Structure 1
């Protein structure tokens, strides 16, 4: 028995591209789902504007729809694997702002979701989308 291979599991690297597809699709779907109510309901958007105002965001009437559409675009980009590195950077920046402005009031546990989205954004920004992506098709183009 080869103990180092048993510990490091190098054969799992064969699934890297599928793992990145699963990561992109699940996080992308989560981001789209998370803002869909604001896109489809003026009432929900108004609540989001009020929420941003409560936490001292500047120009909440502008920032609320802007942020909603940015998150939607990030989610769609992750799902497709399109402009993935840019989407990863935007995701990381967006959720750093969420922690600084809102989540830090809830402590570590309350910030954890945003911290995970920062980490996912940074991984996708630095690694890229993997083989199963529009980015990969365009690069071969």
Structure 2
């Protein structure tokens, strides 16, 4: 069989491009998800009310903390900067979302947050790939 054959090992040459694509899509999604809270005090207050409803401690503090953490993760993923730290923060952030809220929505309701946990853990362990700010400073995966 041709090199790569049935195992499609030739596709591995695109791993850095696929990591970049994943970082751009997920980072954009994270930023899009909180942009209304960042640009509108009313939406931020609604989010604080949502957190209060779900019995989060200090919802007026936790709402902006959650929003800015998600925004920071998104920006870091897009740039490929501090990617491993952003991956850990993303995973922790969405584990909390699952434990506090999404678990009551069942598997389908929890899936988006669970996917973000897995993606965060993947980026924390694999790093951003070669097409990233981190790669310029020796942080690329081996």
- TM (norm. structure 1) is 0.95
SS at match of 2:138: helix
**How many pairs are equivalent?**
139
Give the Å deviation of 1:138: 1.6
Work out whether 1:51 is the aligned partner of 2:50.
yes
What's the counterpart of residue 22 of structure 2? 23
Q: Which runs of 5+ in 1 are unaligned?
A: none
Give the Å deviation of 1:139: 1.6
Q: How do 1:69-84 and structure 2 match up within 5 A?
A: 69-84=68-83
Deviating above 4 A after TM superposition, structure 1's stretches of 4 or more consecutive aligned residues are none
Q: How do 1:1-141 and structure 2 match up within 5 A?
A: 1=1, 5-139=4-138
Q: Which runs of 5+ in 2 are unaligned?
A: none
Q: Could you list the per-position Cα deviations for residues 98-120 of structure 1 after superposition, in whole angstroms to 9, with x for gaps in the alignment?
A: 00000001000000000100010
- TM (norm. structure 2) is 0.95
Greater share of helix? 1
Give distance in 1, aligned partners of 2:11 and 2:119.
20
RMSD over aligned Cα, in angstroms?
A: 1.3
